[in-house]
A and B are shown apart, each in its own frame.
Chain A
């Protein structure tokens, strides 16, 4: 899949349609992938795409929103773009989207070849990017399976005390490096609540209470916005299963409001509207 991406990138740079192409290249372990910013035609052959390309590149687009930019977008990245367009953070006219058909990506394990597919990918039905200007890869034949949340249903079976104990252990491991926030296309606040000084919602301590507030509020701020890309979980240096939190909120979003973020740039997200007839747990 890498060659058509390189050809398109070369054409876009040569014709000056864009001045930068954001994609992936091989990382220094020779196994995993890392984001690549191509400004010069001589670098286009470094571009790759395969199952190791796990980052959500749409998180870089706000840094370049006034310049013509092309981006390699698998469905997760494209959903990130739609979410950002929806929130008026990007100018579609300045974007060229090289969409890539995706059949799942792997866990990012530095230096290891025996990695597994990310769990969330097995329940994904978005193999074709919901938005693109040029598509790489074959569209899969037949209907995709319906979105399911067997992981969340399994976790919901635990008692509140068990769930609490599980998460308390996870939050104790958190070192508050903020990699979950910075890898996410949706976490773009000018001033994050975690750094707000007046009022101070959360202190600077790297301790269980602060970590718990951080992790919970981060997840809640992405409810109805998280595009299920798993970038936060892949970035976490202490392996906190963040997608378990994020996917619970996605499941609620679908059940309560019938809404899945990032599928369209025009749909009105649940938190951007108010209807008198809507009720928690009710229809629509």
Chain B
């Protein structure tokens, strides 16, 4: 089995930083852990639970200029956004990597989102297996698991004084060319227990309870902030607006959420989802009904961030339980 000692891992990361952007979990403002571009491997903080926000931000930034328009001498020039250097995301967890593979489905379907595609092609994912899980994790019910290498390029599993290395893709193999890796006998830790939720058949159940008053009852306490969507590693709704400057216009894309009242309001004031219940249902229907019907997979990876962060405890695990129960009635 391949083995990375802590020292050779550090050397490898420092080598990658020479010509690449390396993102890793770093302890930031108010002690929360975020993925940030690093210039020194000492800043990496992986001995904690998963980061407060997933590295979705790298592929689908909270805000980005998707193109600029410059008018000069009566001519208008359109400048597309591009990426400077190749990138590596180090320390991503299996659930968050799977989330990116889910966002791929709409963003890489025709018409392809070119900006997203470029970032995706030029970024490698080096994951770390979860040897402990949080009480709100339910990844095993959502097609992933603490040791799932599925959506990664390289998977590292913590072992004594280093990591077991699993090369998953050719991109990963290439990335490891200059790394000092030994081949040795290793005892891998056991994957931790994850509490399951009854996700099997939930798409059919969602269809059946679509018009149930249940959604209005859950929406009673929902305050319609955007926390759940913004901390979600696989929510991908956005808004686009032009920012006018003196000599240029920037077309800006920013995260938006189906929970906000303005999200679906059309010119003239019509809103196809006018009630809190309709907006609440939309969030769960997108994850558990529409996305699976179109792409064949549930749009949730069980990372538990929405459960942990919702100020009024709208808990997707409970929703799945309730929907299954209501569908049987």
Cα–Cα distance between A175 and B30 once the two chains are bound (Å): 14
In whole angstroms, how far apart are the Cα atoms of A27 and B310 in the complex?
Answer: 11
- Min CB distance A86 to B, Å, is 22
The answer to whether B225 touches A172, judged by C-beta atoms less than 8 angstroms apart, is no
Q: With A29-B135, A182-B223 as known contacts, state yes or no: A239 contacts B63, CB within 8 Å.
A: no
Residue A195, interface by CB 8 Å? yes
Given contacts A28-B318, A35-B312, A36-B221, contact A111 B135 (CB under 8 A): yes
Measured CA separation A28–B314 after assembly (Å) = 9
B230, B243, B318: which has the most chain A beta carbons within 10 Å?
A: B230
B276 neighbours in A (Cβ, 8 Å): 63
Of all chain A residues, the one with the shortest Cβ separation from B136 is A111
Contact B30 A32 (CB under 8 A): no
The answer to whether A177 and B254 have CB atoms under 8 Å apart is no
Per the CB 8 Å criterion, the residue count for chain A at the interface is 39
User: Which segment of A94-102, A132-140, A204-212, A274-282 sits at the interface?
Assistant: A204-212
Contact with A along B213-241 (1 / 0, CB 8 A): 00001001101111100110000000101
B:302-320 near A, CB below 8 Å = 307-309, 311-313, 315, 317-318
In this assembly, does B262 line the interface, its C-beta being within 8 Å of a C-beta of chain A? yes
Any chain A CB within 8 A of the CB of B103?
no
Q: List the B side residues contacting A28 at CB < 8 Å.
A: 307, 313, 315, 317-318
One of A10-18, A154-162, A230-238 at the interface = A230-238
Please give, as numbers and ranges, the residues of chain A lying within 8 Å of B317 by CB-CB distance: 28
Q: What is the minimal beta-carbon distance from B250 to any residue of chain A, in angstroms?
A: 10
Which of B28, B135, B223, B231 is the one whose CB lies under 8 Å from A237? B231
Contact B241 A203 (CB under 8 A): yes
Contact among B224, B227, B309, B312 with A34 in the assembled complex (CB-CB below 8 Å):
B312
CB pair B63–A175 under 8 Å, yes or no, is no
Tell whether, in the assembled complex, residue A235 and residue B225 are in contact, meaning their CB atoms are under 8 Å apart.
yes
Chain B interface size band reads 35 or more
A153 at the interface (CB under 8 A from B): no
Give per-residue flags for A258-284: 1 if the beta carbon is below 8 A from chain B beta carbons, else 0.
Answer: 000000000000000000000000000
One digit per residue, 1 when the CB lies within 8 angstroms of any chain A CB and 0 when it does not, for chain B 259-274 equals 0101000000000000
Task: Please indicate the chain A residues that have their CB under 8 angstroms from the CB of B48 in the complex.
Answer: none
Q: Is the pair B221, A178 in contact by a Cβ cutoff of 8 Å? A: no
Nearest Cβ in chain B — how far from A153, in angstroms?
22
Chain B residue nearest to A205 in the complex (CB): B63
The 5 A-B residue pairs whose C-beta atoms are closest, nearest first, are A179-B225, A34-B313, A235-B311, A239-B30, A206-B62
**A-B CB contact pairs (8 Å), 28 listed:** A29-B135, A34-B221, A35-B220, A35-B221, A36-B221, A37-B217, A37-B221, A55-B311, A60-B220, A108-B311, A111-B134, A173-B28, A173-B29, A176-B226, A179-B225, A179-B226, A182-B224, A183-B223, A203-B252, A204-B63, A204-B239, A204-B256, A206-B254, A234-B311, A237-B231, A239-B29, A239-B31, A240-B30
